[in-house]
Structure 1
């Protein structure tokens, strides 16, 4: 009887060993390219913080978590031009109602007061602050028109899918080192390769509400803080970071931090 129990135990142990090995081998397969849908595996929560790494900007952090950079700055009391340093802790919440977009100074918190005087204190503070979503004016130098155009001439090979948040833009077919053009005039707020799944990426700020992004480039031709004009060559197309290993441009537009269908803003093609 003891021998039968020992034999059964060995067989059970062997089955578990085989299952574990198969599980590990399954996790190790696949190409070295990061799929376009895999933006970030870090679970999001309004109660979590992000520790700033070298090369990150407040705009790239906001982009990573689908947040509005202005609201993120207001929450963390970061004044324009939203400078952050490696090691800083950023609270991942863009729901703050005040901003420095108009005043140029960081918002101050309403002090905690007894209930009797709290309402009057909040009313007084509200008169001196502005909702960040109200600051939507577009101010550009003369000769820098505000209009949308296609960032590349290739056809759309993957469309925006509002019901599939893992694909937040469109893919345009291209050839290696084909010019990537600015889809609108604005300021470069991120140029680097620190966002997983995007390869070499450029993010451009257009006024207070809109941002556009150009991913999987082989070469970046602009720097952070640089003012660019619609139609200007800002990068060269590549294939980095994609699961298909095809040359393409992944293009996104966000309004107030949320993805919108780029084709709803771009001119109709003939």
Structure 2
């Protein structure tokens, strides 16, 4: 009886092996998803709660917004300090109308005040004189914010081979990828100040973000070691990190340039090799 059971089991095993047409799938438990296949601007909605280690620059980076725009939404002035647990609005706050409508008496008083304004004040304003008791506001220039601050010198952040280029597709690469060996030098592409250094941004690994001026930021991702601190001033060509594979599928540097919060092609700024 025992021999028959063994024979049956052997026959079933042989039949199962012969019936498989394709090899058994291999599943890697700790596979790393390349940055090119991840959603970079992961913040959506209208509100976000600040987590430990984040800066307004890192949040604006994830949201794809200019840090000045995000600061204006939240009435935050430079140097844009935030704290864990703080609520950040990712869109302009809408002014909610009051539930109680103004009474007719209040409306009449307001209309009377408007009528009582001196007519002669128009002539004085025509000659640039201010009417007594009235506040004047300087009209913003039509050209305000239309001209960018140029950076004199850009340098390559690493000396390895270019393996991935910038893409304008929605899920495309928002920077360039440079191959290299572990602990190769990662250098600042231009003069600036470090506004983020950490590993909070999902998919970027150990990341450094450098502010070059009010218009331009650059980012250096997947580092094995960060050598600078936030608010530290750096020079073009200065070593700021060591290359690694944190948050990536291979050792490389992922380098991005942002102009007013939007990704731009780094190859348009870097010198030709």
TM-score (norm 1): 0.70
**2:175 aligns to what?**
169
Runs of 5+ in structure 2 lacking a partner? 1-24, 99-106, 115-134
Report the alpha carbon displacement of residue 132 of structure 1 after superposing the two structures with TM: 7.5
1:79-136 CA-to-partner distances (Å, cap 9, x unmatched) read 000000001111113799xxxxxxxxxxxx9xx9x9998xxxxx95563799973585
- Alpha carbons of structure 1 residues 195 and 94: separation in structure 2 relative to 1, 3 Å: farther
| 1:85-124 to 2 correspondences below 5 Å | 85-93=83-91
**2:5 aligns to what?**
none
Report the alpha carbon displacement of residue 42 of structure 1 after superposing the two structures with TM: 4.4
Report the alpha carbon displacement of residue 38 of structure 1 after superposing the two structures with TM: 1.8
Q: Does the CA-based 8 Å contact 1:39-1:64 persist in structure 2?
A: no
Take 2:158 and 2:186, find their aligned partners in 1: how far apart are those partners? Answer: 6
Runs of 5+ in structure 1 lacking a partner? 1-25, 97-108, 118-122, 139-144
Take 1:200 and 1:252, find their aligned partners in 2: how far apart are those partners? Answer: 14
Take 1:184 and 1:137, find their aligned partners in 2: how far apart are those partners? Answer: 13
Take 1:78 and 1:150, find their aligned partners in 2: how far apart are those partners? Answer: 34
2:227 pairs with 1:221: yes
1:136-189 CA-to-partner distances (Å, cap 9, x unmatched) read 547xxxxxx841010000111011011244421010011000000000000000
Take 1:168 and 1:177, find their aligned partners in 2: how far apart are those partners? Answer: 24
1:250-269 CA-to-partner distances (Å, cap 9, x unmatched) read 00000000000000110011
Q: Does the CA-based 8 Å contact 1:60-1:190 persist in structure 2?
A: yes
RMSD: 3.4
2:266 pairs with 1:262: yes
Residue from 185, 191, 197 that aligns with 2:191? 185
TM-score (norm 2): 0.69
2:44 pairs with 1:44: yes
Take 2:169 and 2:268, find their aligned partners in 1: how far apart are those partners? Answer: 16
Q: Does the CA-based 8 Å contact 1:222-1:235 persist in structure 2?
A: yes
Residue from 203, 206, 218 that aligns with 1:212? 218
Report the alpha carbon displacement of residue 31 of structure 1 after superposing the two structures with TM: 3.2
Residue from 36, 58, 61 that aligns with 1:60? 58
| 1:120-159 to 2 correspondences below 5 Å | 125=137, 127=139, 133=145, 136-137=148-149, 146-159=152-165
Q: Does the CA-based 8 Å contact 2:177-2:252 persist in structure 1?
A: yes
* Higher Rg of the two aligned structures: 2
